[in-house]
Amino acid sequence: MAYLTDVWKLSPTHAAGILNIFWGMVAIMPVGLQFLVDAFMGNFWMVLVSSFSYCVGLGFLSMSTPPVLAGATGTCSAYEPECIGQAQKALFFTALALIAVGVCGHLTSLGTFIAEQFMHPDEDADSDLEEGMLLQFFLSCLASVMAILVPIAGVFAAYFIKPWSIRYGIPAICTLVALLIFLTGSRSYHTPRGQGSPLTTLIRVFVASASKIFQKCPRDASQLYERHDVDYRIPHTHHLRCLDKAAILSATQPLEQQQNNRWRLCRVTEVEETKSILCMIPLCTTFILLGVVTSIGNTYFIEQAIHVNRKVGRIKVPLPLLLWFYDQAKQFCGKLTQLLGLTRYGPPVGIGVSMIFTILCCITAAKVETRRLGVVASHGLIDKPEETISMTIFWLLPQFLLLGGADGIAENSIALFFINQVPPSMARYMVMFAIAVFGAGTMGSTLSVYLVGKISGRGGRSSWFQDTLNKSRLDNYYWTLAALAAANLVFYILMSFWYAYNDSKSEEEEDSGATGQELEFHVECSCCCI
């Protein structure tokens, strides 16, 4: 955000639009990448490809800065808009695409890949099991310490590094080193191939039901196809009966021949899994506005912080420190949500609480921005966007903390909600789908800014979004988001009462542990399509 506004001299709205599209794609792509992992690639190859993409993307980002290619492209080397040619712009946007693939690949497979190594130790290793466990414990502790110290050191080191080419070049070099270290152990990794994607089951149900669209569903569910030689079965339900056609048996073909054509005949369990997913879509639409509010944290909140007073005595507070506080609030609230969200209604309540946090965040941000604009007007800085405003940066801290709390509660509550409410095979995909809905909201924030700007500028009035932040009225936009978030909370409450909840997995697993029997997954969600 700072690079686009300070070097490219883009308006805050334009820069925020670029970043929101980037982060929206980062949130949406894991669903497709997870399908590739399960169906074709496996986790090792996804980690390898995404690490390479990450490395090349950060390299291109460093090369896109004016001094690097000044001689080759015939442009100047200053950090000014006139020194950024078409080659630099092409490298910049290509870098964003590659970095997005790298981030998504790591989100999709890195954690699972590490878990695979611990779950499948090398049987041919010379060291005994105890030494292997001690080594894993030591590496885990070292990784935890480094994960805390390195970002903190980076936050304070960034203040002393002025050239953007070096700021982007250091992460590129570190990522290259990490990739090379990762490759050194490639011969010893446990690398199972993908075993098929549950998304294929959903597609098969739609294809099979569409192929029998003119057939009539039998009233007796026992006439539908189901395998009784498997432990995992879902009882038939009577909503969304149009999908039951996927399980209709043909009277003219042998059963064995129909079973071999899985794109024409599906089990009742597979149909019911698809129904349970479709029933959650209305509830999931309420998550879009959470993504819209989240998007302002990496864009307009940062832009507000750039030109306020960042000094505490003689020390200048690094800008990423606010994002560090955001991350700490997100992690703390996320862990708290995991402890309190194991009951049946814990996750839905947590989602509602996160929506309340977003409302409070928008209200707080609006009031702080109103005060900032008041300071700007009183000191005559409206036409001086580069001047530092005599308002401490810590006025912005509450809105970052509230936004971090909202995101931490929302992400963990939504994950627990889907784990409890969907069949086990689809739980991970539904969590990714929820993140994708967040991403759609992040990308949709660009549209919301455009619409709000057009509506606010009607009748010859000045639009709330101008070329500089001092001329804009972000406070009014924050108030608008607060009103929309309040309306979204009401809509979510209505959808929550309409939705019929299943018992939580944790409670079911405790009961199953007492009996030693595998439980069936019961779908009891109601749906408007009968």
Could you report the per-residue pLDDT of 86-116, keeping only the tens digit for each? Answer: 888 999 999 999 999 999 998 888 888 887 7
- Model pLDDT for residues 169-178, shown as the tens digit of each residue: 888 998 899 8
Q: Is residue 510 part of a domain?
A: no
Phi, psi of 311 (to 5 degrees): -95, 140
HSE-up of 383 (CA within 13 Å, CB side)? Answer: 0
- Model pLDDT for residues 422-480, shown as the tens digit of each residue: 777 777 787 788 788 888 888 888 888 888 888 888 877 888 888 888 888 888 999 99
End position of a domain, from candidates 279, 298, 325:
279
Q: Is residue 527 part of a domain?
A: no
Same domain, 121 and 231: no
Same domain, 317 and 398: yes
Same domain, 247 and 364: no
Same domain, 179 and 221: no
Same domain, 73 and 214: no
Contact 230, 519 (CB under 8 A): no
Strand ranges in 282-369 using DSSP code E only, listed in sequence order:
308-309, 311-312, 315-316
Residue 183 has pLDDT above 80, yes or no: yes
- pLDDT score at 296: 86
Same domain, 268 and 397: no
Number of domains in the chain: 2
End position of a domain, from candidates 279, 312, 338:
279
Residue of 92, 106, 89, 113 lying closest to 52 (CA atoms):
106
Dihedral of CA 187/189/195/198: which sign?
negative
* Helical packing angle, 427-456 and 288-295, nearest 10°: 60
- pLDDT score at 140: 66
Reduced to 3 states (helix: H, G, I; strand: E, B; else coil), residue 248 is: strand
- Which range of residues forms the domain containing residue 11? 2-192+287-502
Same domain, 220 and 145: no
Same domain, 132 and 239: no
Q: Is residue 161 part of a domain?
A: yes
Same domain, 166 and 77: yes
Same domain, 41 and 150: yes
Q: Is residue 521 part of a domain?
A: no
Q: Is residue 136 part of a domain?
A: yes
Q: Is residue 511 part of a domain?
A: no
Same domain, 143 and 250: no
Q: Are strands 315-316 and 311-312 parallel, antiparallel or unpaired?
A: antiparallel
Q: Is residue 385 part of a domain?
A: yes
Same domain, 342 and 303: yes
End position of a domain, from candidates 279, 307, 333:
279
Q: Is residue 520 part of a domain?
A: no
CATH number of the structural domain spanning residue 478: 1.20.1250.20
- Model pLDDT for residues 24-45, shown as the tens digit of each residue: 899 889 888 888 888 788 888 8
